[in-house]
């Protein structure tokens, strides 16, 4: 079994480049099912989740070729299936994103219920409500969900919660529907803007992405295009926290500063120096950082995908820090792992109180989900001795070359294969 070993590595220093965003690449790969001509995608991160999505596309009849580092050419002219296999669906929740495009392109899609990170119940009711509003009939047959429609027709859809995946799935179903669709209370994440930009290049009419009201006018067909995936704001944020927690000095390149506002604000509040340049952010840690509070919210609020990494940071801040998780119901499993390392975190419901600073000690810990895994690496950097992280397949789902990148900043981190 592969593990990551992290040894105490204070004062990380240097420059690291952020990869393309996982959460933009996945819906964009799914959306490539809508096109009938060649699509070239650049800056696609090499991740387990991306690998699974390309397998899903191939299983549906797409021709997917890797033509260089982080570069793919995809042609979905000859789709021959609207059904995704259970083995693939169960590996990754985001496989569900093929449902919207398949419904739009083929008029039917069959999928088993999705798998993915274990961070609370993750229903898909909003996705299905959206498809229904467009005229699809939904059937649930022992875990196999079928959506089908003779013809999809645009409609007004109000989302009870600005779900990222539901917003993306509904956009992708609506781009080939007849007439106009308006999604109200839509998610506003940058990855949705990237998806809309990609779809527009293919010939779709999507306006308002990045606001809470997205308008889609159906078109006859979508063709091909070239597109570069936006930088991963969560990966960038993880390295920014690495600078803060190790009291180091790190420049993170290939970032869009406007996507990083809550992270920048909170690091500054803790006492770090944050310098924003064109496409780069420098974070200089402080010797005596102070406690902060965070509350996760849909974009532009503080991202839930950065909560775990901040919890690690908070163990090193002076005073009581508070983290409130409003997006997912069960996303504090890393708190127990951090407590094993000597942290003092008490969790009640959706709120964690972190009493710091605490001297952490390296021990055996488990990556309970993707971002929890990143949080343990960060904690390992400041812990005495060696931190041994297991179940690192979670980390590989979402971080490209994570050990190399940390090593380039001076971290003592390695991957080993042992019991
Ligand atoms: C996406 C991201 C994930 C991130 C999350 C929130 C991808 C591939 N993943 O996940 O990294 O943590 O956004 O920023 O982009 N919900 C419902 N019904 C639904 C759909 C969602 O109740 O039909 C609830 C979920 O249970 C959860 C909340 O809405 O509590 C947020 O989920 P959502 O925004 O849909 O997240 P994902 O798209 O799954």
Q: What is the secondary structure of 33-94 as a DSSP string?
A: GGBSS-EEEES----HHHHHHHHHHHHTT-EEEEEETTEEEEE-TT----B--HHHHTT-GG
- pLDDT < 50 positions in the chain: 116-117, 119
Give the pLDDT confidence score for residue 123 in this predicted structure. 84
Model pLDDT for residues 368-377, shown as the tens digit of each residue: 999 999 999 9
Give the pLDDT confidence score for residue 112 in this predicted structure. 84
How far is Cα of residue 343 from the mean position of the Cα atoms in its chain?
26
Pocket test for ligand 1, best of 164, 188, 230, 295 (most atoms within 8 A of CB): 164
Task: Please say whether the beta carbons of 114 and 95 come within 8 A.
Answer: yes
Rounded to an integer, what distance in angstroms lies between the CA atom of residue 56 and that of residue 202? 21
Q: Which residues contact 123 (CB under 8 A, 6 or more apart)?
A: none
Rounded to an integer, what distance in angstroms lies between the CA atom of residue 381 and that of residue 78? 49
How far is Cα of residue 146 from the mean position of the Cα atoms in its chain?
26
CA 401 to ligand 1 centroid distance, Å: 25
Model pLDDT for residues 341-394, shown as the tens digit of each residue: 999 999 999 999 999 999 999 999 999 999 999 999 999 999 999 999 999 999
Question: Pick the catalytic residue: 94, 117, 192, 354?
Answer: 117
Output the residue whose Cα is nearest ligand 1's atom 17. 123
Token look-up 């669709």 returns 181
Pocket of ligand 1 (CB under 6 A): 23, 26, 94, 122-127, 161, 163-166, 187, 191, 304-305, 327-328
Rounded to an integer, what distance in angstroms lies between the CA atom of residue 197 and that of residue 209? 9
Give the pLDDT confidence score for residue 116 in this predicted structure. 47
Tokens of 252: 């993170």
What is the SS3 assignment for 233?
helix
Q: Which residues contact 332 (CB under 8 A, 6 or more apart)?
A: 311, 325, 347, 352
Tokens of 286: 């402080």
Give the pLDDT confidence score for residue 334 in this predicted structure. 97
Output the residue whose Cα is nearest ligand 1's atom 13. 164
CA 192 to ligand 1 centroid distance, Å: 13
- The model scores a pTM over 0.95: yes
Burial of 143 (0-12, 13-18, 19+ CB in 10 A): exposed
117 is a catalytic site residue:
yes
Measuring CA to CA, how many Å separate 244 from each of 240, 264, 307, 311, 343?
6, 11, 15, 12, 17
């Amino acid at each position: 079994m592969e593990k990551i070993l992290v040894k105490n590595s204070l004062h990380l220093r240097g420059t690291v480049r952020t990869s393309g965003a996982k959460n933009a690449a996945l819906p964009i790969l799914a959306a490539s099912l809508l096109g009938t001509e060649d699509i070239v995608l650049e800056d696609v991160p090499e991740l387990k989740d991306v690998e699974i999505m390309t397998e899903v596309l191939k299983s549906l009849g797409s021709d997917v070729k890797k033509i260089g580092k982080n570069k793919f050419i995809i042609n979905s002219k000859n789709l021959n299936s609207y059904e995704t296999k259970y083995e693939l669906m169960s590996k990754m929740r985001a496989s569900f994103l093929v449902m919207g495009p398949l419904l739009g392109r083929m008029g039917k899609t069959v999928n088993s219920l999705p798998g993915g990170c274990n961070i609370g119940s993750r229903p898909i009711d909003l996705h299905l409500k959206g498809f229904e509003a467009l005229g699809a009939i939904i059937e649930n047959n022992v875990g196999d969900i079928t959506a089908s429609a003779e013809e999809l027709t645009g409609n007004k859809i109000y989302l009870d919660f600005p779900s990222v995946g539901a917003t993306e799935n509904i956009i992708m179903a609506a781009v080939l529907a007849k007439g106009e669709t308006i999604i109200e209370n839509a998610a506003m994440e940058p990855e949705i803007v990237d998806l809309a930009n990609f779809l527009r290049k293919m010939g779709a009419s999507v306006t308002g992405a990045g606001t809470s009201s997205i308008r889609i006018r159906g078109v006859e067909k979508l063709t091909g295009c070239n597109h570069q995936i936006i930088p991963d704001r969560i990966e960038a944020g993880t390295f920014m926290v690495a600078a803060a927690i190790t009291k180091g000095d790190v420049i993170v390149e290939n970032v869009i500063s406007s996507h990083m506002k809550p992270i920048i604000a909170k690091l500054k509040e803790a006492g770090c120096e944050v310098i924003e340049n064109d496409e780069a952010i420098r974070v200089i840690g402080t010797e005596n950082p102070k406690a902060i509070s965070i509350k996760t919210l849909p974009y532009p609020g503080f991202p839930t995908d950065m909560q775990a990494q901040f919890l690690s940071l908070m163990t090193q801040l002076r005073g009581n820090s508070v983290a409130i998780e409003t997006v997912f119901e069960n996303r504090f499993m890393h708190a127990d792992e951090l407590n094993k390392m000597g942290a003092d975190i008490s969790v009640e419901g959706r709120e964690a109180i972190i009493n710091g600073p605490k001297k952490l000690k390296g021990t055996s810990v488990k990556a309970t989900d993707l971002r929890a895994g990143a949080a343990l690496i960060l904690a390992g950097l400041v812990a005495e001795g060696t931190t041994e992280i297991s179940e690192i397949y979670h980390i590989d789902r979402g971080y490209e070359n994570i050990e190399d990148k940390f090593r380039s900043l001076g971290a003592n981190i390695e991957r080993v294969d042992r019991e």
